[in-house]
Amino acid sequence: MNRTLLDFWVGLFVALGVVAIVFLALRVANQSTLNQANTYVVTAYFHNIGGLKVRAPVKSAGVTIGRVTSIDLDGTTYQAKVLLVIDDVYHFSTDASAGIFTSGVLGEQYVNLETGGEDEMLKQGDTISFTSSALVLENLIGKIVTGMSASGAK
Amino acid sequence: MKAITPALTLIGRKANDAIIRLGAMVQFLLTIIRASAICLRRPSLLIREMYFIGVLSLVIILVSGLFVGMVLGLQMYTTLERFGSGEGVGMVVALSLVRELGPVLTAILFASRAGSAVTAEIGLMKATEQLNALEMMAIQPMARVVVPRFWAGVFSLPLLTAIFNVAGIFGGYLVAVNLIGVDQGAFWSQMQDAVDFRQDIVNGFIKSVAFSVVVMLISVFEGYSAVPTAEGVSRATTRTVVASAMAVLGLDFILTAFMFQGF
């Protein structure tokens, strides 16, 4: 087989492979793996995070704006310390509130951010002071059951 | 006691042989890496082998990828539909292809299509004393014969895996969207929502690179160490396919256990 034709086929093969990798990277995968350069990190403390997982989305008005990067237990306050990485395009006031919501009845849990009225904006390393914990289904059922038995006793 | 001793000796000998073979294989890999400079000095050798190993494997990879994707699409749709989430079919097809099926199936197909051919070729060169002839002419058979084939395979397999994945996703798309009638926007958006670049695509790529080294090392080693007879070459070819398939599946488990902890 002549040399040029051989080069051509191998070139075509390599090009096809590279196109396939680019296709997988751009079309199949999401690009939400946030770039470190244009994000900022804020901390939020929760009494109970329910089933929140690392890499869960951070949403505001239903739009994904960041990810949960780490979840730890604070050794002194016994609260869950959740680090949120947020896209630098979006800014929230310092009195913004964070809550843990569930998408759908049995869906995944995510952190919901709502902005407040302050003029000053959250910066890298700030802490969100207004938080509401996850709704734990077991506690809710427990309350209903005790409420029912209390009203039944009357 | 008398009856047990020979049995134990036999098991011990088999185990020792296997370990010695593994050691020889690692030494062989080091020799290949030391002689690798020839690929830079004479890239035409590498390109010629990439044609035989990579380009000629394209058809089997494309066709298998397409059908694997189509079957996945059909099977997953019927199961997912029972839970009312048939749109998730794109996500399931893409995740299973990129994470597991793509690297593993491509490596096994590649071992049977290209690895066995490499073993047979090198083994036959040895049987017909061509390797000795090269050495007589002061040409290192290691550098001239083994190294280009090894690197051509190592470069080809990750590219073939990516092509297999794309063909599979396209096959799944054909079945789900064109045949069953899943909404095509939901197909892509659910897929993009679930597949992560670093977690899934890069890990799948690392897998295919690891498989390519293992499959090509087994192929050239079996060929180079084949008994130089017709029977020896046929045995070496069989061993290449069997050992490659087992090594790929075993290694896949280990890599998966490390890569996808907690996901």
* pLDDT tens string A51-101: 788 778 888 888 888 888 888 998 888 889 999 988 888 888 888 889 888
- The complex scores an ipTM of 0.80
* Structure-model confidence comparison of residues B160 and A102, the more confident one: B160
Residue A6 confidence (pLDDT) above 70: yes
The closest CB to that of B197, out of A12, A17, A25, belongs to A25
Band of residue B123 on the pLDDT scale cut at 50, 70, 90 = very high
pLDDT at A55: 76
The closest CB to that of B94, out of A10, A28, A33, belongs to A28
Contacts of B156 in chain A (CB under 8 A): 13
* pLDDT tens string B50-93: 999 999 999 999 999 999 999 999 999 988 888 877 788 888 89
Which range, of A31-40, A88-97, A125-134, B105-114, averages the lowest pLDDT? A31-40
Residues B204, B161: contact at Cβ < 8 Å?
yes
Residue B255's closest CA among B110, B151, B100, B102? B100
pLDDT at A123: 84
* Structure-model confidence comparison of residues B39 and B59, the more confident one: B59
Contacts of B198 in chain A (CB under 8 A): 33
Q: Which amino acid is at A86?
A: I
pLDDT at A1: 66
Tally the C-alpha atoms within 13 A of residue B243's C-alpha that lie toward its C-beta: 23
- What are the residues of chain A with a beta carbon less than 8 Å away from any beta carbon of chain B? 1, 3, 6-7, 9-10, 12-14, 16-18, 20-21, 23-25, 27-31, 33
Rounded Cα distance between B129 and B118, Å, is 16
pLDDT at B150: 94
Chain A residue closest in CA terms to B193: A30
Both structure tokens of B101: 């099926």
